Amino acid sequence: MELKIFLDGQFVDKKDAKISIFDHGLLYGDGVFEGIRSYNRRVFRLKEHINRLYDGAEAIRLEIPISKQAFQDKVIETLKENKLDDAYIRVVVTRGVGDLGLDPRKCSCATIFIITDRIELYPEELYEKGLPITVAKTRRNHPSSLNPRIKSLNYLNNILGKIDAIDAGVEEAIMLSVDGYVAECTGDNIFIVEDGDVFTPPCDTGSLEGITQDAVIRIAEEKGMNVGFKKMKLEDVLGADECFLTGTAAEIIPVVQIDDQVIGTGFPGEITKQLRQDFSKLTKTDGVEY
């Protein structure tokens, strides 16, 4: 069956899902997006993702022409249209069609599209054995220039970090802030475990407020762990007992090596494995059914 894409109010075949070359999302990366997951016909944290989408749009003064509830309904409708039980969902809102100038006022109406498909970010072997990563040469955008808390279509900073990872022969890279603090990875938030305590960098170092990140924090708190935000330097990560990444596509994946430095024992740690199990259980009960 041909994949159906929701595009500006209607469903079209994948091959016919096209936008104008004058769309400012294409010309300037002017727009916002979200990546969402569904598990066994249940969309995980749909409301939270849509809230973040609208918050990002508000931050760049982009008006989304439908309500949050209507947007959620369209996500569900797109999943049903494609008969997907487990899916990766990409929702995108661009500034819309304008001219070759920067002026956003020239764009009369936003473009909206929703893609529902399948995704496998990392092979299962890496979840079992752990992921080697590197430190990106590219620094994270400074929050005062382009705030990483806005999940915008201008993702070149992340892509350059990903290229650094590819050049190093690994799948992911830690991105440092301009003043040398750990921010996040190119597509995931990062956590460390120290003496049983769980920490992740605060947003003011240049990281996105992750939906999966928040879920993991809540799981850890419910387990009685000391968990919180902590500004950290690279040496804090290198000296940690455990390290793992979180993200919608990645879920929770252990990190066992950073460049030439082995993390902890060099194998996924017990707390990481426990959080992975608990997160998997959570996805079976938390979400909007369809």
Burial class (CB in 10 A: 0-12, 13-18, 19+), 240: buried
Q: pLDDT digit string (tens) for 119-163?
A: 888 999 999 999 999 999 999 999 999 888 899 999 999 999 999
| Cα distances (Å, whole numbers) of residue 254 to 167, 258, 263 | 21, 12, 10
* Residue 208 contacts residue 140 (beta carbons within 8 Å): no
Catalytic residue annotation: 151
Q: pLDDT digit string (tens) for 185-196?
A: 999 999 999 999
Number of H helices, E strands in the chain: 8, 16
**The pTM is what?**
0.95
Residue at token pair 């804090």: 236
- pLDDT at res. 223: 95
- pLDDT tens digits, the chain, 290 residues: what are they? 799 999 999 999 999 999 999 999 999 999 999 999 999 999 999 999 999 999 999 999 999 999 999 999 999 999 999 999 999 999 999 999 999 999 999 999 999 999 999 988 899 999 999 999 999 999 999 999 988 889 999 999 999 999 999 999 999 999 999 999 999 999 999 999 999 999 999 999 999 999 999 999 999 999 999 999 999 999 999 999 999 999 999 999 999 999 999 999 999 999 999 999 999 999 999 999 99
Taking alpha carbons only, the member of 132, 225, 152, 146 closest to residue 178 is: 146
* Residue 109 contacts residue 45 (beta carbons within 8 Å): no
* Residue 62 contacts residue 32 (beta carbons within 8 Å): yes
The tokens describing 85, both together, are 């039980």
Parts of the chain belonging to CATH 3.30.470.10: 4-117
- pLDDT at res. 119: 87
**For residue 167, what are the contacts with CB-CB under 8 A and spacing of at least 6?**
none
What is the three-class DSSP state of 281? helix
- Give the CATH number of domain 4-117: 3.30.470.10
- Give the CATH number of domain 124-283: 3.20.10.10
- pLDDT at res. 276: 98
Helix (H) or strand (E) holding 69: helix 68-81
Parts of the chain belonging to CATH 3.20.10.10: 124-283
C-alpha of 67 from chain center: 23
| Cα distances (Å, whole numbers) of residue 187 to 10, 43, 106, 121, 282 | 30, 20, 32, 10, 22
